[in-house]
Amino acid sequence: MFFKMLKEDVDVVFDQDPAARSYIEVILTYSGLHAIWAHRIAHALYKRKRFFIARTISQIARFFTGIEIHPGAKIGRRFFIDHGMGVVIGETCEIGNNVTVFQGVTLGGTGKEKGKRHPTIEDHALISTGAKVLGSITIGRGAKIGAGSVVLHDVPECSTVVGIPGRVVVQNGKKIRRDLNHQDLPDPVADRFRELENEIRQLKQELRRKEREDEL
């Protein structure tokens, strides 16, 4: 079972990364795969209460890959980390099957609270470059988190979230594609700025009109 899971970790690279050319290349050069394999071993030791050696393995993996996964995190099958530099996954994080994350993603906590303090990521979710998912929240099955988003609340399944703070912009399968186009996401922050610019323009026009009336 364990070795079958390791093989699945390799196979998912070919499914998700068109740059993958051969098994030997993937096994020897993919830092995301190395981090996941190190975590599989560290997590097995962690469950046996070998906390020190588990944490040591995770820190060695962090040094060589730039990816920090706490050995207590629960990660499902066919987990894919694309590039991966700067990825951080906290102790009580739970990740389902067929989940993809990109570089710079943080699955972290929001303070020093005890117990479950990191996110739960359900099956088939995708978390894009630089996104921060914080706190004991749930990212629903098939949800997509846009690049650079900061998510602090639960996300329904089959939804797309963008912005700071993260907002659901697509839900229930409408306008959702399997492959998230990072540069073509709605931007609620930019939309709000445009609204403010329009309001300022209207206020200036009203002020000029008042000034002309006063001159008369």
Q: What digits encode the pLDDT tens for the residues 184-208? A: 555 666 777 888 888 898 898 888 8
- pLDDT bracket for residue 8 (50, 70, 90): confident
- List the Cα angle 204/207/213 in 5-degree steps: 145
Residues 84 and 32 sit within 8 Å (Cβ to Cβ): yes
Strands in 120-121's sheet, in edge-to-edge order, are 74-75, 94-95, 120-121, 138-139
- The DSSP letter of residue 14 is H
Residue 155, both tokens? 């996300």
Q: How far apart are CA 128 and CA 146, in angstroms?
A: 5
**pLDDT above 50: residue 170:** yes
Weakest-pLDDT range from 69-73, 95-99, 176-180 = 176-180
Q: Over range 104-113, report the average pLDDT.
A: 84
> From the CA atom positions of the chain, what is the Rg in Å?
22
For β-strands 126-127 and 100-102, DSSP reports them as parallel
pLDDT at 192: 76
Give pLDDT, residue 174: 56
Predicted local confidence at residue 177, as pLDDT:
47
pLDDT at 215 (0 to 100): 72
Tokens for 33, please give them: 């795969």
Tokens standing for residue 13: 């690279």
Q: What pLDDT does 95 receive?
A: 94
User: Which pLDDT value is given to residue 165?
Assistant: 73
149 contacts 107 by C-beta, under 8 angstroms: no
Mean pLDDT of the chain: 85
* pLDDT for 172 beyond 70: no
pLDDT at 110 over 60: yes
- Asked if residue 71 has pLDDT above 80, the reply is yes
At residue 3, the pLDDT reads 74
Residue 176 has a pLDDT of 44
